[in-house]
Structure 1
Amino acid sequence: MNALHTAFVALALAVAAAASGGQSLESPGASSTANLAQLRQMIDHGHSDEALKQLDALAAQQPVPAGVYRLRGVALYQQNSFQKADAAFASALQQDAHDLESTQMRGLTLFRLGQPAKAIPFLEAAHDWNAQTRVDPSYVLALCYVETRNYDGARHAFAVQYGFAPDSAQAYLLAARMLFRREYLPIAQQYATKALELDAQLPLAHELLGEIALAGEHLDVAIAEFEKERARNPLDGSIYDRLGDAYIRAGDYTKAQQSLQRALLLEPASTGPYILLGKALLRSQDPVNAAMYLERAERMDPGNSMTHSLLSQAYRSLGRTADASREVNTAQKLQAASQPKLEDVH
């Protein structure tokens, strides 16, 4: 077995040496294609710095071999050098206007540069998946439409991503959810309402309308929408969780506890109901039981800063000052660790 392994290693080294500069019987074009394929593998495995050195040398040739500009763009994109990546993809498209990957990647790059309007034509021209696609271009195209206030275009792009008919109830609800996630509340509400007009029995539509109302602190509306969703999906634990949250905000702690206990029975592995129960019990001046639920949540997910913050309140009410201080410190550390770094903000 050792001899076989040695022979395999020797063969691999010989192949690598030949690929990096040894003699080859292949034609120059075949050799160039093979070299680009190897460089692509290097980039895909995170060695973009090494690949760029070789690609820069190839880019100095005249004429520049086909595919070099595209790979330079991919490597630079991987390094978050978006301005340089955009220039590389532009050069690739000047060399071959039908290069679909460069078209797609230039659209993605322009989006990352904060230029959604310029990105749209490229993503519209090449928003299908291909062998090299890493980010769903239909999703990015939809985000570009959102940023440029073309909400119907966004709806159509989101629908393509999920295979929905563009004007269907499902497409409207999907777009509403995506818009709500990005805090476009009025248009999200409009689209969710339209989804129900098209299909009055559409699951999760009332839940989303409840979430939108809750975000705007329209508590009566939120509770009414969640109750409608509960009538349609009585065994969905998340509905009781959201109802519990709404009742806490409305100051009805008895109904909040009732809803959250139901959520626990249906979703015993979820920490949300435990945390909310702890909050409701704290508001009801019951720190003993609040601590019990919050300690359970902490064991399930020790990295949740909200749990530690609420635990500190419960312990302080119980006179456990050392434990309360410990939980405050833990919550602050977790909150600081979760803050995005400056270079991560886009």
Structure 2
Amino acid sequence: MCSPLKVALLRCLFFPAVLSLPLGLAQSSTTVPTAPTPNGMVSVPGAVSTDVASNLTQLRAMIDRGRSDDALKQLDALAAKQPVAAGVNRLRGLALYSENDFTDADVALASALNQDPHDQESTQLRGLTLFRMGRPADAIPLLESASSWTSQTKIDPNYVLALCYLDTNQYDKARGAFATQYGFPGDSAPAYLLAARMLLRRDYLPVAQQFATKALELDPQLPLAHSLLGEVALAGEHLDVAVAEFEKERVRNPLDGSIYDRLGDAYSRAGEYTKAQQSLQRALLLEPNSTGPYILLGKVLLKRQDPASALMYLERAEKMDSSNYITHSLLGQAYRSLGRGDDASRETEISHKIQAASEPKLETLH
């Protein structure tokens, strides 16, 4: 069974606005000079004895199991002994990172790299730490020097590197890093389209449109290119352009339910509720397990003054996903239109609670 931290890591790979701890990255070997002692024995500064090495293995296992605070107590004690054994500062950085103490993690990892500049794990983790600290420009050199996979790598460093490039407005380099992650040639149509999608997520709409257009120039038949251009137009409230692009994608992919969902959204925003309803019902037939079309249909039917029908779709959406505050808000409107005041108040209150719980909160910086 996966540990909680490893589950968090898997989530990171699918929801990129939040990066998780890359547990278990490859442990690098440390080469240190040797010197004779007065009794003729060889001294190895920073060398790890068998007992210390075994202890570090146990401490890493503790971090993996979510006991970083307990591991830190022992690691701090080891770090206080001079010379500091190889691997101690690396693990301290790992533990501190898992505690979201990025400032101290950066100090520990910098010390680890002073001991061994070739420590790939510390290099990758310090790059990620600096990114989490909002210092992408400082993270880039580290991630560039440790951007290759090893047998123990848990998160592709090219992904974080690409995000750093985006945050420093180096869009072509970001495209290259994303392409490397997916194995695309950097100047290929898929590379441009992939970068356009990531740019859209960051709301870099003009550059996203530019890259998606370039993708179509390179390959006019590239799937999802028109869909992405439609999303860019929809985000910019250019509704006529959005509808036109989604219609082009619909012709190429007539059985893609998400296209009808996006068309329904565009038509709804444009006030064309009949066309919106038609598109969304088509989306439901193709994607019956997606809540999006149900919610949008409920909204459209409320606009069409049909709260009874809207209620049917919204109640279905709530059963599929009870944690969406928009669903509860629309349910409140539907109940209110049907004269069910108590139900309306209940749903409105639930909507407010869910929305309040999901709002970002200020955290204490270490």
Shared fold (TM-score, shorter chain, > 0.5): yes
- Determine the structure 2 residue equivalent to 1:311: 331
Q: CA deviation at 1:131?
A: 5.1
Greater helix share, structure number: 1
Q: Could you report, residue by residue, the CA deviation over 1:21-40 in whole angstroms, capped at 9, with x for unpaired residues?
A: xxxxxx97222222211111
Letter in 1 for 2:201: R
Q: Secondary structure at the match of 2:49?
A: helix
Q: Is the 8 A contact 2:297 2:310 kept in 1?
A: yes
Matched, 1:250 2:270: yes
Identify which of structures 1 and 2 has the higher relative contact order when contacts are C-alpha pairs closer than 8 Å and 6+ apart.
2
- Determine the structure 2 residue equivalent to 1:86: 106
Matched, 1:115 2:141: no
Letter in 2 for 1:76: L
Matches within 5 A, 1:1-346: 29-130=49-150, 132-343=152-363
Q: CA deviation at 1:129?
A: 3.1
Matched residue count: 319
Q: CA deviation at 1:80?
A: 1.0
- Determine the structure 2 residue equivalent to 1:17: none
Letter in 1 for 2:258: S
Percent of counterpart pairs with the same letter? 73
Q: State how far apart, in whole Å, the 2-side matches of 1:46 and 1:308 are.
A: 35
Aligned-residue Cα RMSD (Å) equals 1.7
Q: Is the 8 A contact 2:196 2:211 kept in 1?
A: yes
Q: Could you report, residue by residue, the CA deviation over 1:137-180 in whole angstroms, capped at 9, with x for unpaired residues?
A: 21111111011100011111111111111111111111100110
Q: State how far apart, in whole Å, the 1-side matches of 2:338 and 2:364 are.
A: 41
Q: CA deviation at 1:132?
A: 5.0
Change (3 A) 1:28 1:152: closer
Change (3 A) 1:220 1:344: farther
TM-score by length of structure 2 reads 0.84
Letter in 2 for 1:165: P
Q: State how far apart, in whole Å, the 1-side matches of 2:79 and 2:209 are.
A: 51
Q: State how far apart, in whole Å, the 1-side matches of 2:323 and 2:282 are.
A: 25
Q: CA deviation at 1:293?
A: 1.4
Q: Based on CA coordinates, which of the two structures has the bigger radius of gyration?
A: 1
Q: Secondary structure at the match of 1:343?
A: coil
Letter in 1 for 2:301: L
User: Structure 1: which 5+ runs fail to align?
Assistant: 1-26
Change (3 A) 1:56 1:299: closer
Q: Could you report, residue by residue, the CA deviation over 1:52-95 in whole angstroms, capped at 9, with x for unpaired residues?
A: 22222222222221111111111111111111111111111111
Change (3 A) 1:246 1:298: same
Q: Is the 8 A contact 1:101 1:132 kept in 2?
A: no
Letter in 2 for 1:74: L
Q: State how far apart, in whole Å, the 2-side matches of 1:86 and 1:131 are.
A: 24
Q: Is the 8 A contact 2:48 2:86 kept in 1?
A: no
Q: State how far apart, in whole Å, the 2-side matches of 1:61 and 1:30 are.
A: 16
TM-score by length of structure 1 reads 0.89
Q: State how far apart, in whole Å, the 2-side matches of 1:79 and 1:129 are.
A: 25
Q: CA deviation at 1:233?
A: 0.5
Change (3 A) 1:28 1:227: closer
Q: Is the 8 A contact 1:93 1:99 kept in 2?
A: yes
Letter in 2 for 1:197: E
- Determine the structure 2 residue equivalent to 1:16: none
Letter in 2 for 1:246: A
Q: State how far apart, in whole Å, the 2-side matches of 1:53 and 1:298 are.
A: 46
